[in-house]
Amino acid sequence: MGEYEPGYAAYGEMLRRVGEQHHQSCMVVTSREGTRDTSGSSMMRPIRHLSLNGLQPEAAGQILKDEALSTPSFWKLLVQQYRGNPLMLRIVAMTIQEIFDGDVGKFLKKGFTTFGDIKYLIDKQYDRLSDDERDILGQLAQQAEPIPMESLNHAHLDAIRSLLRRSLIEKSAAGFTLRPVVMEYVRHHVA
């Protein structure tokens, strides 16, 4: 849960030092997942963690427009499906252009969202999950509606926090649910 991969522990040490030292510098680090060192519970006061949501519809639409995708009436659905994630939108836009001649409607009719590079991105995150985190994803994938915290089996607070930091699950007033792309991934690619 937020541990460094082998060979990357020195980055954690660097972040720890930057967070503990008094200085006037500013450093911006981007990552698909937060670590315990940089999460909101960190004792290092100067470090701030900002979780970015997807692009606004106008900016996301510009990615689709730049790829010359047709049927703009379907763009909103595509942006929602990928939660405005710019990397995933670029990947899917190129795929739609190459295979579906730019027709978003034809792509959406096929009904799949995790393929090729998108599947690879999620594979990399999924492979690093703990058994508890995978268990929670499996439980959430079985439900169409959000599940309240108290209804999750073996729901450890650390595992939930880790999944939220990795942007694999979403939290609402009704409970927790999977992002649409992660939902399809867990349902179709995890045995």
Helix, strand, coil % in the chain, rounded to nearest 5: 50, 5, 45
Q: What is the pLDDT of residues 129-169, one digit of tens each?
A: 999 999 999 999 998 899 998 887 655 788 998 899 888 99
Taking the C-alpha atoms of residue 73 and residue 76, their distance in angstroms, rounded to an integer, is: 7
Buried/exposed code over 130-149 (b: 16+ C-beta within 10 A; e: otherwise): eebbebbbebbbeeeebbee
Q: What is the pLDDT of residues 5-23, one digit of tens each?
A: 788 888 888 887 887 888 8
Q: What mean pLDDT is predicted for residues 18-38?
A: 76
Give pTM, 2 decimals: 0.78
**Domains detected in the chain:** 16-50 (no CATH), 57-111 (no CATH), 120-189 (1.10.10.10)
